[in-house]
Structure 1
Amino acid sequence: MTDQDAHEPLPFPDRDPADEPARLQVTSPSHPLEVDHFLFKGRRDWSQGVRILVAGGGTGDALIQMAQVLTTAGKPYEIIYLDTAINARAIAEARAAARGLTGVRFETGSLLDAARFDLFDYIDCAGVLHHLADPQAGIDALAGALASGGGIGLSVAAPFGREGVLALQKAFAETIPQGDPVKRLAAARAVFARIPQRHAVLSNPHLRAQIATDAGFYDLLLKGPDQPFAMDQLMEALTAAGLAATGLPQAHLYDLARFFPEDLEDISPVAAMALAEKLDGTIRSHALYATHAGLAEGRVAQGLDAADVPHLRGASGLNLAKMVAAKGALSIALSGARTVLPVPASAAPILAGITGHKTLGQLREAVGLDTVSWGPLWSTLHRDLTRFGLLRYSRLLVS
């Protein structure tokens, strides 16, 4: 399957440009704060500008997010949107126009030809590679368009959290011929209405929202059998392209300690993540950041420098502080599961002070802690919040 088949003729996700003034779609990968955290140690100098490729840009979620955040921060950028789908491109262009975003160039073409647009500091490729006839060729093409020292944020479908999807994709490919998408959708919906309620797709709560919409149903089930990646397969594909992962926004999902409190002997980090994926059984997609092999070490922010600037994702510092002060713990709901993390009440003022505008040094001074008291307290917060994707570092808003 080509990337044109993957995004034409019912653009996904379904977006209305008229909604732009009301909300910004926040996605992962590719929020600039997250990009900075996982690829530039949280210390990128955004004032120097950045050259970005959105490969397989679809209806524009990643494009709009990056352009709007950088515009609001007053940072220069050049973004090239690339997709074969004319309908999707039209929606993305209308969304950018509704926000008055500049610095964006729209191109119609395949991500396999990414290198013809020169090299990029950052490349986004979300939800596209598994639709390609040859996903490895797509990863190779992205690697060939990446500037030295730059990075890639990508997401691909995963197999174990989508049980039943591949079977339906194959069944529809065998019985519903190519042609008018509206007729194909109607035919598939009629068949889908008759599948047993015990079918894995119907019983998967994480798929309900997507199959409820026509664009989502078509994207998931009517583009032919896709090629999902287990985590170890994805790592192998990166290696084959001369790339290596730097980090994962939702690292907790791949933590084998969730299932084996004691370390297993003689298991590699990749094998451990792959085993955790199998044991979890609900992971529908993988999101990660990568760069050229040999340049991946030391790219993720560690929060060890007083000049590092912390940001919270998905929650305000004040709300988290109130929870910690009242309960001595943080209750985190992610991916349909709830986790309770013990946090000392003394950490509440620290959480309340995280605004994205204060350095760690300024934050420590504001809460009145000396370096001896601060160190272990912040280390615990950093460890727990980063592995759940709730804490990132970036100087985007202060430099």
Structure 2
Amino acid sequence: MDDIAAQYDAYPYPHRDPEDEKKRLITGSPSHPLEIDHFLFAGQRDWSRSFRVLVAGGGTGDALIQLAQTLTSAGKPYEITYLDLSAAARRVAEARARARGLRGIAFHTASLLDAAQYGPFDYIDCCGVLHHLPEPQLGFDALGAALADGGGIGMMVYAPYGRAGVYPLQEAFGALLQGSPRDRLRQARAIFARLPEGHPFKRNPHLGDHLEGDAGFYDLLLHGQDRPYTIRQLVETLGAAGLELVGSPQAHLYDPGPIVGDPRLIVGMDDLARMELAEKLRGTIKTHVVYAAHNAAGRVARPGPGAVPHLKGVSGSKLADVITRKGVVPVTLAGEKMELPVSAMAARCLRHVTGRANLSQIGAAAGLDPIAFNAVWAPASDELTRHGLMYYSTLLTG
């Protein structure tokens, strides 16, 4: 653990400039409050109650700032605890919070293995950390023990197939290079420049962290502890910690149907077997972004009269215009271009999605009776939610 802390003290990752907080808010999955509500609280959390959050291994603060700023802007109460072993990374996160005037955050230079000492928590964010622990299962166990009743976790861990070429280089650099982080980085860059163009790493179009400066290169190729998980290994590790997989904003990646083609080939497979098959067939998944809880039943939001839909990255009126003009929703996700089928009648309904109107109100505004509305809305909702483009949450209605 001391070696890992030394790495991030030398090269805090990801590199962030607190001055950039004046220009942009970095958002992503997991840990946007809308997404948290959708996957862990059935889209119906009472946001008037203070939200107790742990950012475990918070690094330079992306998840922390996203959570605190979104909740502050929505006028919702929260208490956030930040833990990280790197004092340098913590200083960056603190500076970013100060630049935005965010309050309600307690910063600690500490290990996530001690999470239970600070809890319990309604929500825990842990992104890009567990796979770097010497004994990752202890980390999963510690986070599970720090959850309050009914709480949940959003996490990201590395996946092996989309990171083709990374692990042979990590092993080679680990065997060759000694000395300070800066010496190792200098030597590794020189060796990397001489790699043959046919090396699996150089042929992998899904890798780019090494292009983001010294911190990105070091984190990707010189990390001293990096253990990727297949989706089955992740589910089994969660299970050993008393946790269950709830869902993923990347659900479409784990559906083998479009690649298999013939649905008869996958009849009888359980959900995990299908996910495992899709991961192998795709070969491009480099991270698993998932939500987990002690009990997964009833956690994920479902469309119903009182459910409040939100669209990611686009207004309802603009999305409706696109569908009317093109007949589909064109999207690019993780470098993959696709066209999602959404009907013109569904576009008429999507035009009224504001993040404040519930489905009953949207159906009425579209001039549809409940039965007709459900028939139109259900397939569109399924298509958009499984691609991470729609969530249900009461965040803006209370």
**Structure 1 position 360, deviation (Å):** 1.1
Q: Is the 8 A contact 1:251 1:387 kept in 2?
A: yes
TM-score normalized by structure 2?
0.96
SS at match of 2:307: coil
Deviation per CA, 1:281-333: give whole Å up to 9, x if none.
000000100001xx2111000112x1211001122322221121112211121
In 2, Cα distance between equivalents of 1:258 and 1:216? 33
Give secondary structure in 2 for the equivalent of 1:267.
coil
Deviation at 1:266, TM superposition (A): 3.8
| Superposed counterparts of 1:296-311, under 5 Å | 296-304=296-304, 306-311=305-310
Query: In the alignment, is the contact (CA less than 8 A) between 1:122 and 1:146 conserved in 2?
Result: yes
Unaligned runs of 5+ in 2: none
Please state whether the residue corresponding to 1:355 is helix, strand or coil: coil
Q: Is the 8 A contact 1:59 1:91 kept in 2?
A: yes
What SS does structure 2 have at the residue aligned with 1:11?
Answer: coil
2:379 matched residue in structure 1? 380
Q: How far has the Cα of 1:150 moved from its partner?
A: 0.2
| Mapped contact 1:9–1:85 kept (Cα < 8 A) | no
Aligned AA for 2:243?
L
2:353 is matched with which residue?
354
Cα gap change, 1:209 to 1:116, in 2 (>3 Å): closer
Q: Which residue identity lines up with residue 299 of structure 1 in the other structure?
A: R
Task: Please say if residues 84 and 108 of structure 2, whose CA atoms lie closer than 8 Å, have aligned partners that are also in contact.
Answer: yes
Aligned residues: 395
CA deviation profile, 1:154-176 (whole Å, cap 9, x unmatched): 00000000001000101111111
The residue correspondences of 1:1-399 to structure 2 (distance < 5 A) are: 4=5, 7-179=8-180, 181-260=181-260, 261-263=262-264, 264-292=266-294, 295-304=295-304, 306-399=305-398
Cα distance between partner residues in 2 of 1:209 and 1:314:
24
Q: CA deviation at 1:268?
A: 2.2
Amino acid at match of 1:241: A
Higher mean displacement: 37-46 or 314-323: 314-323
Cα offsets for 1:221-246 (capped at 9, x unmatched): 11125100000000000000000011
How far residue 7 of structure 1 moved from its aligned partner, in angstroms, is 3.1
Deviates more, 1:280-289 or 1:363-372: 363-372
* Letter paired with 1:339: M
CA-to-aligned-CA distance 1:42-87 (integer Å, 9 cap, x gap): 0000111110000000000000000000001111100000000000
Q: Secondary structure at 2:331's aligned position in 1?
A: strand
Pairwise CA distance, 1:4:
2.4
Query: In structure 2, how many angstroms separate the alpha carbons of the residues matched to 1:41 and 1:334?
Result: 25
Check whether the contact 2:343–2:380 (CA below 8 A) recurs between aligned residues.
Answer: no
Distance in 2 (CA, whole Å) between partners of 1:6 and 1:145 is: 27
Tell me the CA shift for residue 352 of structure 1. Answer: 1.9
Unaligned runs of 5+ in 1: none
Q: In structure 2, do the counterparts of structure 1 residues 316 and 203 end up closer, same or farther at CA, with 3 Å as the change threshold?
A: farther
1:19 & 1:103 partners in 2: Cα distance?
21
**8 Å contact 2:18–2:92 — kept in the other structure?**
yes
CA contact (8 A) 2:26 2:66 kept: yes
Preserved contact between residue 169 and residue 225 of structure 1 (Cα < 8 Å): no
SS of residue in 2 equivalent to 1:148: strand
The question of whether the paired residues in 1 share the 8 Å contact of 2:209 and 2:220 is answered with no
Shift of 1:5: 5.2
Q: Secondary structure at the match of 2:22?
A: coil
Question: Equivalents in 2 of 1:90, 1:391: separation in Å?
Answer: 34
TM-score by length of 1: 0.96
Kindly indicate whether the alpha-carbon contact (under 8 Å) linking 1:246 and 1:300 is maintained by their aligned counterparts in 2.
yes
- Once residues 347 and 266 of structure 1 are traced to their aligned partners in structure 2, the CA distance between those partners, rounded to angstroms, is 32
- CA-to-aligned-CA distance 1:187-216 (integer Å, 9 cap, x gap): 111010000112222222221254342111
**4+ runs deviating over 6 angstroms:** none
Q: 1:391 to 1:110 in 2, by over 3 A?
A: same
Take 1:56 and 1:255, find their aligned partners in 2: how far apart are those partners? 30
Q: Distance in 2 between matches of 1:70 and 1:243?
A: 26
Deviates more, 1:310-319 or 1:245-254: 310-319
Structure 1: distance between partners of 2:108 and 2:212:
31
| Alpha-carbon distance between aligned partners in 2 of 1:63 and 1:353, rounded to the nearest angstrom | 31
1:395 maps to a residue whose letter is T
Higher mean Cα deviation, 333-342 or 53-62? 333-342
Q: CA RMSD in A?
A: 1.3
Aligned to 1:201, the other structure's residue is in SS state coil
Within 1, Cα distance between the matches of 2:122 and 2:227? 28
